[in-house]
Chains A and B, each alone.
Chain A
Amino acid sequence: MEKKEKHKGCQCDCGFTRRGFLSSMGAGAVALAASGKIVTPAAAAGVKAPMDSLSIQLMINGRSQRLLVEPRWSLLYVLREHLGLTGVKIGCERGECGACTVLINDIPRYGCLTLAVEAEGSKITTLEGLMQGEDLGPVQQAFVEKDAFQCGYCTPGQIMAVEGLLRAKPRPSVAEIQREVSGNLCRCGAYVNIFKAADRAAELKRS
């Protein structure tokens, strides 16, 4: 107990929280990307305009962001590697596992199969966007309450799939829940509790 408090105190003293670390990482990555563009081989190889970085506007977790992206960059890559939104997980990168699920205009989609340029002008919601300040959002809270994970790797994707379902349908049946999270694999097999969590999340959102 004492040790834990001391540790907590230490974090406060240096003003260095995990969240702060991640967002500074994000900023760093953006800076790197911007400087990286100058040395990108695309221009050197004499490639025409479409190959160059394109400027796109995205509304990410309620914040409008202008980004320079290469045509081949997936939304997953941009969110994770350039914005530090590591709630978006890399799984199969072929649309089979659901770890990279994000909401695009409130609809769950795979970040790995969406080119960032194709998302231009869209409203993107990632796990980070479900936080209510420092508190967990209702779906996140429900996953904790119902112990809906073991290793936790698929959890952000599962939560986003449930979030998307509840935005479209606030009172889903068990069959609807099972169907709507069927695009998200859980290798630990926490499915039963994931279904319970989705049901609990619907309750929490209504209350």
Chain B
Amino acid sequence: MMPNFSYIRPESLQEAITHLGSADARLHAGGTDLLPCLRDQVFDAKKVVSINGINDLRSIQETEDGSLRIGALTTITEVAENPLIRERYAALAQAAAEVASPQLRHQGTIGGNLCQKPRCWYYRGEFHCLRKGGKICYAKGGENQFHCIFGGKGCYIVHPSDTAPPLAAFAAKINIVGPKGKRTVEAAVFHVEPSKDVTRETVLEPAEIVTEILLPRPLQGLRSSYRKVRARQAWDFALAGVALVLQFQGNKVTKGRVVLCGAAPVPWRSYEVEKVVIGSALDDATISRAAAAAVKNAKPLEKNDYKIPLFQGMLEEELQKIKNG
């Protein structure tokens, strides 16, 4: 049984923001991450504010300029199955289809997938770790086989979201509302590295709510893919993953983004890979160099150096696939 909390399901964003402003209030969207966190007492909630009564947040719409607007309460299943997303933003549809299990995809939301808490077993367990306001990271000298190889500083989690890497790679924007009004943030900078602030995962301020995700209209010649490697074929987080969004002109890559998953405390943009592939024809030699560059600056922990050949091999395979269209 979860600890007691009060519950409110407002019908407007304004009301929700007001309720979220009270002490220890927590937002409920799909509830698939909130409820286990409350049950395990990762954090407390005096008040649960469900935004499920706000129906405006539940839609996928093409806007006049050809971009796509995804409401934050759209379920992961809806993202995975939407024909327009599958056609134009393949990497996002593929990533959504790889999230957790069917039941969780039916319930979990795209907004929640971006805002979920870390899955580090020390963070989720009874350890007062650095991220929870404690003094040390238990993973650093402990069981760190599933932790990061990039961007670790103080805390060594990997960001668990499958949909965040493709959203960052597509240069999506995230609309947010809060007590101070509306603002828009690039998906690529929505998550916060531990070197900047170890106690927060996203740029969200108290009582702010993610309302929509905006995807720019893709140009001709854009190819994208998402690859997720996990320890078993179903229902698991990524050991390694990559979202590729590359603009092709013939066999040459003219621009694009490469964002790694399971690599760092935030979706990790691999500038190293981008530098090798952009401006080059994607031939075997370029692909090998790009895959090697991906892991060149990696800093593995004691038990996760297997991730280096894993990322390298995975990058090589995925770049070969995207080359062949």
B206 CB to nearest A CB, Å: 20
Interface 0/1 of B43-76, CB less than 8 Å to A: 0000110101000000000000000000000000
Report how far A95 CA is from B7 CA in the complex, Å: 21
Give chain A's interface secondary structure class: mixed
Report how far A94 CA is from B101 CA in the complex, Å: 13
B8 contacts across to A, CB distance below 8 A: 50
Contact A48 B107 (CB under 8 A): no
Interface 0/1 of A105-117, CB less than 8 Å to B: 0011110111101
| With A51-B4, A113-B107: A182-B102 Cβ-Cβ less than 8 Å | yes
A42 contacts across to B, CB distance below 8 A: 4
Report how far A179 CA is from B99 CA in the complex, Å: 12
A41 CB to nearest B CB, Å: 9
Report how far A95 CA is from B2 CA in the complex, Å: 14
A94 contacts across to B, CB distance below 8 A: 36, 39-40
Q: Flag whether A44 is at the interface (Cβ < 8 A).
A: no
B104 contacts across to A, CB distance below 8 A: 95, 110, 113, 183
Residue of A nearest to B106 (CB): A107
29 A-B pairs with C-beta separation under 8 A: A42-B4, A47-B6, A50-B7, A50-B8, A50-B47, A54-B7, A70-B4, A71-B4, A71-B6, A72-B38, A74-B2, A74-B35, A93-B39, A94-B40, A95-B32, A95-B103, A95-B104, A107-B106, A110-B104, A113-B36, A115-B48, A115-B50, A118-B31, A118-B52, A183-B101, A183-B103, A183-B104, A183-B234, A184-B101
Q: A95-B104, A118-B31, A182-B233 are in contact. List 7 more A-B contacts (CB 8 A).
A: A42-B4, A49-B6, A71-B7, A101-B103, A118-B28, A180-B102, A183-B100
Interface residues of B (CB under 8 A from A): 1-9, 28, 31-32, 35-36, 38-40, 47-48, 50, 52, 100-104, 106-107, 233-235
